């Protein structure tokens, strides 16, 4: 059964660009085995079969998904959590787990884990190909989307919505065409209507990888030849509503499957897979595309194929790229299944994993890489030794980059009269090497375009740099609105860094309009039947004068748009009133 499963897995492997992290050494060689990472001891140490996906929690614990059924001597079907030292975290218990392979996973900001794969049940409950686990490993029963077929790629947006890719055609009975966006409760997001995806070669279209952009667009890779009626061979980009982004045109596309995608900090896209030609040019198994889909001709790697090509790619903030899969060499130098490339595609010789992964009588593979804040890299795949050391399907390699990036505080504030707000973001832990993180603003009670200018982009921390600022332009007005809020989110860490606990924050725009209420300063007769009321307030605001002779029946009688802080109202018809009362309010 395991051999049959491996054959099937070759066709459906995905690592979302934002889930697979990487690292770069600044001074020392990177790639040696970390002997402090001990997933048990003896022949049964670690897992009993392939690890296909790994992700890091902010507390250093490791989530692993794959085809395994146990960790050491403890049952763990398809998903498990390890402590920072590699031992099994028994506080994360998925029960009997998944009844088949977990091929993709993504962490939510609340500690829950979304898993995707071949399974149809998790801990005995029906969950077709996608499920969500609570932070303790139990199944989240409130989340149960029903996919019609295999799901392999999963990514969580900064707003909590979930992107899913695979071979399914419906979710919850709703047509989804191999890609869907789910709301936090598992329902299909009606605002994402994916265009038609077809395969005119094998007639079995599928998505194997997703890469999220900071603007909400998503790059898709897999086995397909047509998207939205346009020729798109195995790579395309969708708009935030699911429609084809026609501005991203990869020409002839890839001649074979694109199995992995990763975003660079500059917006360029790294694609890995089985292809030997992409965008009309020869590229063996890995290529870099410009933001418009054209081929970046400055990147020309030489990968020597051993078996199946590149399964996973990951990017660094300084432009270097990790590749993993089934290959034997890079630039003519022996690199078994894992290598790091420079920004031009040449081999980075400072990363040396030795003999790499090995499996007797099987083809070894590197399927996933994630990098801790201290720069150590967790590697998952199909192997029982790594550089000659007994390690079953998971290992940790030494490194000297990484760190944690987060907001310096949970809340920031700015006066409405201020021209901009400065939001501080810090990097802690290792600062050797360049890293980057995306940021985005979203409306809380404030409105983009009226109260502030929306921002989305990337912060790049150079080696040794620990602090960066996000500048958010503030748009003042004369309305009495009260304080308003802007939501801030960090995401897509690149270069071996992970997000800290404070990955979200709130910016409060303080309404300074309330600080100067209108005040009556004088009232005088202006004629036989008229009075003049003088007030102090704020120029540029709108004020309304109301009057009454019979409480509480106030009526508005005049509106003023003063150009100075001292201004007048005139009320006519006062001779017939024995008593007359006034009040003013600003708008």
Domains of the chain: 2-32+96-351 (2.130.10), 404-513 (2.60.40.2030), 516-586 (2.60.40.10)
pLDDT the model gives residue 516: 65
pLDDT the model gives residue 492: 83
Contact by Cβ (8 Å): 371, 21: yes
Contact by Cβ (8 Å): 10, 203: no
**pTM across the whole model:** 0.69
Q: Is residue 312 exposed (0-12), middle (13-18) or buried (19+ Cβ within 10 Å)?
A: buried
Contact by Cβ (8 Å): 248, 235: no
Chunked mean pLDDT (size 10), the chain, 587 residues: 34 32 37 84 82 93 97 94 95 97 95 97 97 98 96 94 96 94 96 92 90 93 95 97 96 96 92 95 95 96 75 76 89 90 88 91 90 78 93 84 84 88 90 86 94 94 92 83 89 79 92 72 86 86 84 85 88 76 80
* Closest to 289 measured CA to CA, from 322, 245, 242, 248: 248
Main-chain phi, psi angles of 166, to 5 degrees: 170, -145
Distance (Å, whole) CA 184 – CA 193: 17
pLDDT the model gives residue 318: 66
Positive/negative CA dihedral, 445, 449, 452, 453: positive
Contact by Cβ (8 Å): 382, 356: no
Neighbours of 548 (CB within 10 A): 14
Distance (Å, whole) CA 237 – CA 380: 28
pLDDT the model gives residue 412: 95
pLDDT the model gives residue 240: 95
b/e 228-242 (16+ beta carbons within 10 angstroms → b): beeebbbbbbbbeeb
pLDDT the model gives residue 564: 87
* Closest to 453 measured CA to CA, from 486, 480, 481: 486
pLDDT the model gives residue 172: 95
pLDDT the model gives residue 401: 57
How wide is the angle at C-alpha 190 spanned by C-alphas 186 and 195, nearest 5°? 110
pLDDT the model gives residue 565: 86
């Amino acid at each position: 059964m395991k051999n049959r499963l491996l054959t099937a897995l070759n066709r459906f492997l995905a690592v979302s660009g934002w889930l697979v992290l990487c690292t770069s050494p600044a001074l020392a060689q990177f790639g040696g085995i970390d002997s402090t990472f001990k997933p048990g001891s003896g022949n049964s140490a670690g897992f009993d079969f392939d690890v296909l996906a790994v992700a890091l929690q902010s507390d250093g614990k490791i989530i692993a998904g794959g085809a395994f059924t146990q960790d050491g001597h403890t049952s763990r079907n398809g998903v498990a959590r390890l402590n920072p030292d590699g031992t099994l975290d028994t506080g994360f218990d998925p029960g009997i787990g998944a009844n088949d392979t977990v091929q993709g996973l993504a962490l939510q900001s609340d500690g829950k884990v979304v898993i995707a794969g071949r399974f149809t049940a998790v801990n005995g409950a029906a969950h077709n190909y996608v499920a969500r686990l609570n932070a303790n490993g139990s199944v989240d029963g409130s989340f149960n989307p029903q996919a019609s077929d295999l799901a392999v790629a999963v990514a969580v947006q900064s707003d909590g919505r979930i992107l899913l890719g695979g071979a399914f055609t419906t979710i919850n009975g709703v047509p989804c065409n191999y890609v869907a966006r789910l709301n936090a409760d598992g329902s299909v997001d009606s605002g994402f209507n994916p265009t038609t995806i077809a395969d005119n070669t094998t007639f079995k279209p599928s998505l194997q990888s997703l890469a999220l952009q900071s603007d909400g667009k998503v790059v898709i890779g897999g086995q397909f030849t047509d998207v939205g009626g346009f020729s798109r061979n195995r790579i395309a980009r969708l708009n935030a509503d699911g429609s084809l982004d026609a501005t991203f045109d990869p020409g002839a596309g890839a001649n074979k499957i694109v199995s992995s995608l990763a975003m660079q900090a500059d917006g360029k896209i790294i694609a890995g897979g089985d292809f030997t030609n992409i965008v009309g040019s020869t590229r063996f198994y890995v290529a870099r595309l410009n933001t418009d889909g054209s081929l970046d001709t400055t990147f020309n790697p030489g990968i020597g194929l051993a078996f199946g090509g590149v399964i996973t790619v990951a990017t660094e903030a300084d432009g270097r790229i990790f590749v993993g899969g089934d290959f034997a060499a890079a630039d003519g130098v022996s690199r078994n299944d894992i290598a790091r490339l420079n920004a031009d595609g040449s081999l980075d010789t400072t990363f040396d994993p030795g003999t790499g992964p090995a499996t007797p009588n099987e083809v070894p593979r590197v399927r996933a890489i994630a990098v801790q804040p201290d720069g150590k890299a967790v590697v998952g795949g199909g192997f029982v030794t790594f550089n000659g050391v007994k390690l079953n399907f998971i290992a940790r390699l030494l490194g000297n980059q990484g760190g944690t990036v987060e907001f310096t505080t949970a809340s920031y504030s700015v006066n409405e009269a201020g021209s901009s707000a400065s939001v501080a973001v810090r990097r802690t832990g290792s600062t050797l090497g360049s890293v980057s993180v995306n940021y985005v603003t979203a409306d809380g009670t404030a409105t983009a375009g009226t109260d502030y200018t929306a921002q989305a982009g990337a912060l790049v921390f150079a080696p040794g740099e620990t602090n960066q600022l996000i500048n958010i332009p503030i748009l003042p007005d004369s309305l009495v609105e009260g304080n308003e809020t802007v939501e801030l989110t960090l995401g897509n860490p690149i270069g071996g860094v992970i997000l800290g606990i404070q990955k979200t924050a709130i910016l409060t725009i303080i309404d300074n309009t309330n600080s100067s209420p209108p005040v009556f300063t004088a009232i005088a007769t202006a004629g036989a039947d008229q009075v003049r009321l003088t007030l102090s307030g704020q120029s540029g605001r709108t004020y309304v004068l109301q009057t009454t002779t019979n409480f509480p029946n106030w009526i508005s009688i005049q509106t003023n748009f003063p150009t100075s802080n001292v201004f007048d109202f005139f009320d006519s018809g006062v001779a017939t009133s024995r008593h007359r009362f006034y009040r003013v309010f600003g708008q």
